[in-house]
Structure 1
């Protein structure tokens, strides 16, 4: 059973990021010039040509605690946007942990039409609402851009007797072996575990999955001996892998990931399962076309910088850019795919 939840755009496919600024400017210029009267308010500045720009610091929300994948994406983006001088003001990161992301989404939903607030996102924006654990789903927000793809890595303590993913599957399928993850039951990390166990011939319904509020907390619990294994994003695990505190027994990519090149894929171990963690940026509802165009161009320009490429490679991310329209369509399609796999592994 192979389940690949993303169809990453190959470099050069779809609209070029280098030409996106021209397209965005053209879209914005088509707006009524009377919007210029709004310039200088808290809603930002609209120039005579219809283009929009912020007038106060941009805030990026990570809907989880520090140390996880959302936090890493938010802080990396904020730091590089400032360092590369792509913004005139500061970019601030706020953490809104709780309920698998739902606390953060509620915060953003309560700031509809505020163009100075963004949030980072990944599969839980689809999975948590599907489990009935959030009052908001992706349709309540404005897609800005998909940026990258990450992968899941399956971890055990350095001194564990688990050597391969087959070993982990044998023990996890018995119900006497706990596996921590950074998302709630039925959400991203749980699905990545259950799907892999099912593909390995284990009974995924017997797995003792322990949810934590972000990958950072799951890893801390693994180090503290509170769980026997953990499943988190590659980028989240790099520090502990490099220190030797944990070992990886598999990665959910089709091919080996450069950042963890010594870790075999599940496919290499005859487990026919892959899982992509797409990562992107969204905004509150009711943004104007000009505001969306500004952020599309901003993140496209960020991804063209050498600094972003360096950080992306270090964190094990793969470029998978989509603009707002493409990202919105992708979210709709992926929700349908998730519904199918949740049913297949008994999580829905």
Structure 2
């Protein structure tokens, strides 16, 4: 009888051990599961056609498909409004989806900090940063200033006599990139006269003399510089950019103004995206960043390579928020 009981207990032990083994292997399998898209992917550009977000999204989608990095169709849709807030609200409604991505840059930090959006970078899943773009400060070709120091000397004497125009609202990117450089040059940034051009006619205002300075992206100035209509006094990059015309633009740093402003640009998904999907997109965006095709895109638009994976990107965003918040507080624009 004891022998039968012993055999019975042994059988139970084997069954339990096997079950535990199955559970462990199942758990390991879940933790190492792979994900790949099985239907079309949507990338949202939270602005109108033709701007930096739109161009980045469309170029990424184009190379992904044409280079065979991602086989599923990728569509780009524009959801303009609120400096990005309309697009962010749309993505927030796609919680956990692995098929709804969006491109963003510093406004996803700036806009919530100045109270114009309820959603910030913490409400989404950072996937990968891809590029670094830079700001440019342009004046008319016949303007009396030939460099940033000449401009800032006049602004130190009478800041309100010079009007700066940008596409973004006060407290957002075109404003803040100018303020950061001007502050380092010794200008009283609280007295800078900045006006918003939401309809994209800032360049027209510059050319007709309504404003004196245009704060914009580097790529938005190239054609007008070639046409001899404007000149770029300085850009916010660490060093000069490569490329025809671009290489002629002096940096603020080489003019003795020891600061920079990076218009980083990357991709996000909704909150709570599956970790396997995050890993998939990290790898695909890295493959995109390393491709010759995307290197050609960067060269065409004057972008620098600035890839970060999901965890590095999140840490970077948190640090950026702290830096920008202090500047907005100084301007009295923090919420």
Q: TM-score range by the shorter chain?
A: 0.7 to 0.9
Q: Which residue of 1 aligns with 2:99?
A: 116
**2:225 matched to 1:241?**
yes
**2:193 matched to 1:195?**
no
Q: Is the 8 A contact 2:236 2:252 kept in 1?
A: yes
State the secondary structure of the residue aligned to 1:175: helix
Q: Which residue of 1 aligns with 2:307?
A: 321
**2:324 matched to 1:332?**
no
1:227 offset after TM fit, Å? 3.2
CA deviation map 1:135-191 (0-9, x unaligned): 101111010001111111111223333322123334555313222223221122211
Match of 1:101 among 84, 108, 128: 84
1:55 offset after TM fit, Å? 2.4
Q: Which residue of 2 aligns with 1:310?
A: 296
1:329 offset after TM fit, Å? 1.3
Q: 1:269 to 1:282 in 2, by over 3 A?
A: same
Higher percent of residues as helix:
2
1:221 offset after TM fit, Å? 4.6
**2:167 matched to 1:182?**
yes
State the secondary structure of the residue aligned to 2:248: coil
Q: Which residue of 1 aligns with 2:33?
A: 50
Alignment of 1:57-206 (within 5 A): 57-172=40-155, 174-206=159-191
Q: Is the 8 A contact 1:59 1:94 kept in 2?
A: yes
Any gaps of 5 or more consecutive residues in structure 1? 1-28, 34-48
1:57 offset after TM fit, Å? 2.0
1:328 offset after TM fit, Å? 0.9
Report the Cα distance in structure 1 between the residues aligned to 2:255 and 2:331, rounded to whole angstroms. Answer: 20
1:226 offset after TM fit, Å? 4.6
Q: 1:56 to 1:312 in 2, by over 3 A?
A: same
Q: Which residue of 1 aligns with 2:193?
A: 208
Any gaps of 5 or more consecutive residues in structure 2? 1-26
Q: 1:166 to 1:132 in 2, by over 3 A?
A: same
CA deviation map 1:188-232 (0-9, x unaligned): 221111122222222222222122449x55445545655332112
State the secondary structure of the residue aligned to 1:53: coil
Q: Which residue of 2 aligns with 1:254?
A: 238
State the secondary structure of the residue aligned to 1:287: coil
Report the Cα distance in structure 1 between the residues aligned to 2:221 and 2:57, rounded to whole angstroms. Answer: 17
**Which TM-score applies when normalising by structure 2?**
0.83
Q: 1:75 to 1:225 in 2, by over 3 A?
A: farther
Q: Is the 8 A contact 1:241 1:247 kept in 2?
A: yes
Q: Is the 8 A contact 1:98 1:213 kept in 2?
A: no
Q: Is the 8 A contact 1:238 1:315 kept in 2?
A: no
Q: Is the 8 A contact 1:146 1:279 kept in 2?
A: yes
Q: Which residue of 2 aligns with 1:230?
A: 214
Q: Which residue of 2 aligns with 1:13?
A: none
Q: Which residue of 2 aligns with 1:18?
A: none
1:248 offset after TM fit, Å? 0.5
Report the Cα distance in structure 1 between the residues aligned to 2:78 and 2:192, rounded to whole angstroms. Answer: 30
Q: Is the 8 A contact 1:198 1:345 kept in 2?
A: no
Which has the larger Rg? 2
Match of 2:280 among 285, 288, 294: 294
Report the Cα distance in structure 2 between the residues aligned to 1:180 and 1:315, rounded to whole angstroms. Answer: 22
Q: Which residue of 2 aligns with 1:14?
A: none
Q: Which residue of 1 aligns with 2:269?
A: 283
1:32 offset after TM fit, Å? 2.2
After TM superposition, the structure 1 stretch with the greater mean CA deviation from structure 2, 88-97 or 282-291, is: 88-97
CA deviation map 1:282-315 (0-9, x unaligned): 1111210111111111111111111111111222
